[in-house]
C-alpha cells in the first residue's frame, strides 16, 4: 500500500485588492446573475468568461420544471463561448451568487462537479490555464488553473485503447 497526497492552491483576496480586469469580470458575473431563471431553487448564479481576444461572455443558471433539463451558469457561459467563438481560448471565469435584491452574497460559491469537468476540458482544449474567481462580498478565491479545482479529472485521452 502507498499513500498519495494531492495539494491544491488558491489565493484569497479582499475585493479591494483586485486588479481592474478581475473586478470587471466579477461585476459582469453579478450582472449576469440578475438574469438567472431560478424559480425552483431561488439560487441565482452568474458567470462571466474572459476570452483571449478580450471579449466577455456572460451566463446565468437556467432552470426547468423537469429539473435535470436546467443548466448551471458556468456551463451556459462556457458552452455559449465555445459555440459562438470556437477558436478563442478561455482565460478566466468569475462566478457569483446574488440574493433576490441582486446583491452578491457573503458566501463564495464553489462550482459543481459537472461545471468543473467542463472547465477542465475547455482548459485542455486550448492548452492554457483558466483562472477561476469565486467571489463573495467579503473575499475572492482565485485558482490559477482548473487542476486546482478538479484534481485527477476524467479525460478520455488517457483511456483510449487501440482497437
Task: Report the residue number, 42 or 125, with the smaller CB distance to ligand THU.
Answer: 42
The least distance separating ligand THU from the CB of residue 38, rounded to whole angstroms, comes to: 5
For residues 59 and 71, the answer to whether their CB atoms sit within 8 Å is: no
Q: In terms of CB distance, is 22 or 63 closer to ligand THU?
A: 63
For residues 32 and 44, give the distance between their C-alpha atoms in angstroms, rounded to a whole number. 9
Question: Under the criterion CB under 6 A, does residue 94 sit at the interface with ligand THU?
Answer: no
- Residue 114 or 155 with smaller CB distance to ligand THU: 114
> Do residues 94 and 135 make contact, with C-beta atoms less than 8 angstroms apart?
yes
Q: Which of 80, 119, 94 is nearest to 25 (CA)?
A: 94
Give yes or no for residue 72 binding ligand THU (CB under 6 A).
Answer: yes
Instruction: Give the DSSP per-residue string, 89-158.
Output: PEEEEEEEEE-TTSPBPSSPP---HHHHHHHHHHHHHHTSPPEEEEE-SS-EEEESSGGGTSTT---GGG
Active site residues: 74
**Segment interacting with ligand THU, rule: CB under 6 A, options 7-15, 69-77, 98-106, 134-142:** 69-77
Applying CB under 6 A, the span of 2-10, 67-75, 121-129, 147-155 interacting with ligand THU comes to 67-75
Q: If you ran DSSP here, which 8-state letter would residue 37 be given?
A: B
Q: How far is the C-alpha of 16 from the C-alpha of 19, rounded, in Å? A: 8
Identify any residues that bridge with 60 across adjacent strands, giving them in sequence order. Answer: 46
Q: Within 10-39, which residues bind ligand THU (CB under 6 A)?
A: 38
- Applying CB under 6 A, the site for ligand THU has a residue count of 13
Sites for ligand THU among residues 95-154 (CB under 6 A): 111-112, 115
Residues of the shown chain interacting with ligand THU in the complex, contacts defined by CB under 6 A: 38, 41, 43, 45, 61, 63, 70, 72-74, 111-112, 115
Amino acid at each position: 500500500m502507498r499513500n498519495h497526497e494531492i495539494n491544491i492552491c488558491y489565493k484569497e483576496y479582499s475585493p479591494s485588492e483586485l486588479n481592474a480586469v478581475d473586478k470587471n469580470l466579477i461585476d459582469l458575473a453579478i450582472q449576469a446573475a440578475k438574469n438567472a431563471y431560478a424559480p425552483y431553487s431561488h439560487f441565482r448564479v452568474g458567470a462571466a468568461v474572459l476570452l483571449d481576444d478580450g471579449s466577455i461572455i456572460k451566463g446565468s443558471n437556467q432552470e426547468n420544471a423537469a429539473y435535470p433539463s436546467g443548466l448551471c451558469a458556468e456551463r451556459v457561459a462556457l458552452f455559449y463561448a465555445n459555440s459562438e467563438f470556437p477558436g478563442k481560448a478561455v482565460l478566466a471565469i468569475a462566478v457569483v451568487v446574488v440574493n433576490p435584491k441582486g446583491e452578491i452574497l457573503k458566501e463564495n460559491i464553489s462550482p459543481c462537479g459537472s461545471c468543473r469537468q467542463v472547465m477542465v476540458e475547455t482548459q485542455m482544449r486550448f492548452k492554457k490555464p483558466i483562472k477561476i474567481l469565486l467571489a463573495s462580498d467579503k473575499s475572492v478565491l482565485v485558482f490559477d488553473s482548473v487542476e486546482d479545482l478538479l484534481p485527477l479529472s476524467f479525460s478520455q485521452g488517457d483511456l483510449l485503447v487501440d482497437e
